Amino acid sequence: MAKTLDARTRAAAAERLRFFREMGVYDFYRREVPPELLERLAASEEQAAAVMEEPAQPLPVAATETESAAEMPRKSTVSDRIAALRVIREDLGDCTRCPLHKLGRKQIVFGVGNPRADIMFVGEGPGADEDEQGEPFVGRAGQLLNNMISAMGIRREDVYIANVVKCRPPQNRTPEREECDTCSPFLMRQIAVVRPKIIVALGAVAAKNLLGVNDSMANLRGRIYDFRPMLSKSAPEYDSAISTRLAVTYHPAYLLRDPRQKKEAWKDLQMVMRELGMPTPTKSGE
């Protein structure tokens, strides 16, 4: 018997279908879901629920005699990673390290999401809506990013989202080199704590800063990079063994300006999904 969807689920399904059509995907097929995938999805939902309901934990003041600060991020429990991220946020403080703090910012926009996420999205910097709400990607570009994440078959709560700089550049201008260099160490520490299986760099600024190269988006896209966060040996999260993968795609704000590139962005996301062994919707016959 066919399952009747509630109004909220129907609306979400319609929105996802619209997003796929904008990307040029029109044909779909139904296939049986392996039992092991169902079990994995159920476990993922339980994990996400636990993250959302995790009670506040006090910030660790100092490492114990039997546990150094550098060992803390290696733990796998959600509460430990939440605490480690809070330590980074506390170290960031009411930051005045670069000129952005006196150029009209309302608040620091740190990061949000699952501290054990397999996928971490990294953008350029906060915009007006983000500066107002204190959370990355909540404006129009954020709504498109939500659609992109949904099209991958996951939820915003399943991923971790951050930016290269934590303060809004005036008039949403591109962050300057000094600003990126000053803020990047905190991003690297976030990466070291979350330890995603893959990072998706959203746009040229994020890609160039993470990879340390100056190249065009055309050359940066279309491949998976090996990536190691550049950490100071004095950072509590320092571990020379930390490594992950990285892919580059267009920033959602750019896709709003040029919707024709959504098909290309979808190709990038499909590449990420294949890298993680996730099911990838495609046109029939492909």
Residue 112 dihedral angles phi and psi, to the nearest 5°: -155, 150
pLDDT given at position 242:
94
Within the chain, which residues score under 50 in pLDDT?
29, 31, 41, 44-45, 47-75, 283-286
**pTM to 2 decimal places:** 0.74
Instruction: Name which of 119, 115, 140 is nearest 130 in CA terms.
Output: 140
Paired sense of beta strands 160-163 and 244-249, if any: unpaired
Q: Residue 62, by phi and psi: left (phi above 0), alpha (psi -120 to 50) or beta?
A: beta
pLDDT given at position 281:
73
pLDDT given at position 147:
97
Instruction: Name which of 117, 137, 118, 119 is nearest 127 in CA terms.
Output: 137
pLDDT given at position 164:
98
Task: Please give the order of strands across the beta sheet that includes 119-123.
Answer: 111-113, 160-163, 119-123, 198-202, 244-249, 225-227
Amino acid at 22: E
CA distance 65 to 44: 35
List, in sequence order, every beta strand (DSSP E) within 105-196.
111-113, 119-123, 160-163
pLDDT given at position 61:
36
CATH topology of domain 34-58+68-276: Uracil-DNA Glycosylase, subunit E (3.40.470)
CA distance 112 to 201: 16
CA distance 191 to 197: 10
Residues 6+ apart with CB under 8 A from 280: 270, 273, 274
272 token code pair: 């990420």
pLDDT given at position 43:
56
| Secondary structure element (H or E) that encloses residue 188, with its range | helix 177-194
